[in-house]
Amino acid sequence: MIRVLLAEDQDLVRGAMAALLSMEPDIEVVAEIDRGDEVLTAALQSQPDVALLDIEMPGVDGIAAAAALRGGLPQCRVLMLTTFGRPGYLRRAMSSGATGFMLKDAPAAELAVAIRRTARGERVLDPQLAAQALSDGDSPLSSREAEVLVSAVDGSSAADVARRLFLSEGTVRNHLSAAIQKLGARNRMEAARIAREKGWI
């Protein structure tokens, strides 16, 4: 029996996935949670073999949850699950200790197969996405540039961002300008869009 922990914030989707897995004779869902920050405690209690983690979750995201899990329960493998095929997501998931990485638009029949492979410690990942992640390289943004960019995308002015991050307005504009150039964008919004698509912010 493979013991599975299921972390996914949308109740309907989580319940449906549990139903899907309940049809497999060798898979048992031993825990269901809807927040990233409850993954570790639930895992310590239920001792799963595989944790199926969504990336987009309230609390902390699935990537941070995977890192916590590797620290607290290293024998538990992680299969990351996400809506968005962003190369940076895959990169960050892998370096936070995930064994597999699966997209939600993969065939439903693949899920059980992927779980079994993950339980055996085999790598599960989309070849296209892996190639993309390798060719894109790592994020060219410095941590400060990324921080300023995320803080500016919601329509805040440079002055707002400066107040929020305790910087001068000129510095904020300089960081944004650097980010815009590094990403080959024409303004902050385009830069944010590109960085989001790559999974860099």
Partner DNA sequence: ACTTTCAAGTGACCGATGTCACCTCGCAAA
Partner DNA sequence: TTTGCGAGGTGACATCGGTCACTTGAAAGT
Contact 32, 59 (CB under 8 A): no
Return the one option of its own copies, DNA, none that residue 177 interacts with (CB less than 5 to 8 A, by type).
DNA
Beta bridge partners of 18: none
- What mask of x and - would describe binding to DNA in positions 152 to 181, judged by CB under 7 A? -----xxx------xxx-xx-xxxxx--xx
Question: Residue 174's binding partner, choosing from its own copies, DNA, none, with beta-carbon cut-off 5 to 8 A by kind?
Answer: DNA
Residues of this chain, 26-85, that bind its own copies according to CB under 8 A = 81, 83
Residue 138 CB, nearest distance to its own copies (Å)? 23
Distance of closest approach, residue 74 Cβ to its own copies, in angstroms: 27
Residue of the chain from 26, 87, 108, 147 that contacts its own copies (CB under 8 A): 108
In sequence order, the 6+-apart residues with CB closer than 8 A to the CB of 139 are 88, 146, 195, 198, 200
* Smaller CB separation from DNA, 70 or 144: 144
CB of 72 to its own copies, least distance (A): 27
User: Could you say which of 65, 91, 145, 195 contacts DNA (CB under 7 A)?
Assistant: 145
188 binds DNA (CB under 7 A): yes
Buried b (16+ CB within 10 A) or exposed e, 43-65: beebebbbbbbbbebeebbbbbb
Sequence-distant (6+) residues with CB within 8 A of 27 are 1, 2, 4, 21, 112, 115, 116
Residue 137 interacts with DNA (CB under 7 A)?
Answer: no
Q: Please, how many CA atoms are within 13 Å of residue 32, restricted to the half-sphere of its CB?
A: 15
**Is 25 a binder of its own copies (CB under 8 A)?**
no
Nearer to its own copies, 134 or 159 (CB): 159
Among 77, 92, 188, 198, binds its own copies (CB under 8 A): 188
* 187 near DNA, judged by CB under 7 A: yes
Interatomic CA distance for residues 113 and 176, integer angstroms:
44
Binding site for its own copies (CB under 8 A): 9-20, 23, 81, 83, 102-111, 153-155, 157, 185-193
